[in-house]
Amino acid sequence: MQKRMLGNSGLEVSALGLGCMGLSYGYGPATDKADAIKLIRSAFDQGVTFFDTAEAYAQGENETLLGEALAPFRDQVVIATKFGFEGGDVQRGVNSKPDNIRAVTDAALKRLRTDRIDLLYQHRVDPGVPIEDVAGAVKELIAQGKVKHFGMSEAGVQSIRRAHAVQPVAALQSEYSLWWREPEAEIVPLLEELGIGFVPFSPLGKGFLTGAITGGTSFDKTDFRNIVPRFSAENRDANQALVDVLKQIAAGLNATPAQVALAWLLAQKPWIAPIPGTTKLHRLTENVGAAALELSAGNLREIEAALASITVQGDRYPAHLQARVDR
């Protein structure tokens, strides 16, 4: 798989990474440990060198899983994790106090079985802690060798600028896909200006852009998509038009809708590295195949033209979670 540089940071990653959250958290029961380790190692075998986790994914369990899976080839991969929720529990709210950042980092190092975190993100901006203090705390961890690079997630323009002035931000991780293009307005130009890489999460629209989800699909009772407005049965039916366009274009390229959606992201900027997640080996291989799919200028124009008449229905988060997104 091709490699990409995350902005001006010097951090090189595979063009596509692996988002590991769903193996432990968010989309129903956790994947069997042996199966999860097999999937992570299969990703590495297929060229993926960029793996994403967080303290908040099952309160550290996902980090522990990833640490065990990657131990045999730790020095050949880039591990990204995140701090920023009280006790690693999203329900308890944010906490980016410097003391907590230090404590969470030390705990993550043990769970990940490593002596350094390649990319440490603030999971969500904490309005109660000046972003300069957050960046300063990570700067100290970098000086100590515990962390290599600083990242932010779902951060707004001013927070990114202020943090970057204290400690260069290597990457921003935020949602970006064919059905969530808000970052194109202000975020993408800012990242280009400052030389910051972009790591889109949910690049397949939490699974919707694969074409496998319809208005009749039912989710596990613990699947957070049950509370996402965009995933109401009515909105799924309305948004099917977007998937239909992807299917039509994919058919002409001998590809799948998911591959077209990922290839579209890769075509936007050379410093974008999406992190699709999956619990299925066949989906992993399908996603990895997107890195070899090159969309022509004509393909990209076709996608833009087709999408111009489609308005995606439904908010991407319920109101209480949307309130945590920095603007």
Residues 79, 114 contacting (CB under 8 angstroms): yes
Alpha helices for the chain (secondary structure H): 33-45, 61-70, 98-111, 131-143, 157-166, 187-194, 233-253, 257-268, 281-289, 297-307, 319-322
**29 residue type, one letter:** P
Q: At 284, list the tokens.
A: 């992993």
Active site residue 27: no
Rounded Cα–Cα distance for residues 210 and 243 (Å): 8
Rounded Cα–Cα distance for residues 61 and 194 (Å): 34
- Of the residues 25, 27, 57, 176, which is catalytic? 57
Rounded Cα–Cα distance for residues 175 and 182 (Å): 9
Rounded Cα–Cα distance for residues 239 and 231 (Å): 9
Beta-carbon contacts of 40 under 8 Å, excluding residues fewer than 6 positions away, are: 18, 20, 23, 51, 65, 66, 69, 70
| Cβ-count burial 56-85 (b if 16+ within 10 Å, e if not) | bbbbbbbbbbbbbbbeeeeeebbbbbbbbb
Rounded Cα–Cα distance for residues 215 and 94 (Å): 34
Beta-carbon contacts of 97 under 8 Å, excluding residues fewer than 6 positions away, are: 126, 129
Rounded Cα–Cα distance for residues 278 and 210 (Å): 11
Annotated catalytic sites, by residue?
A: 57
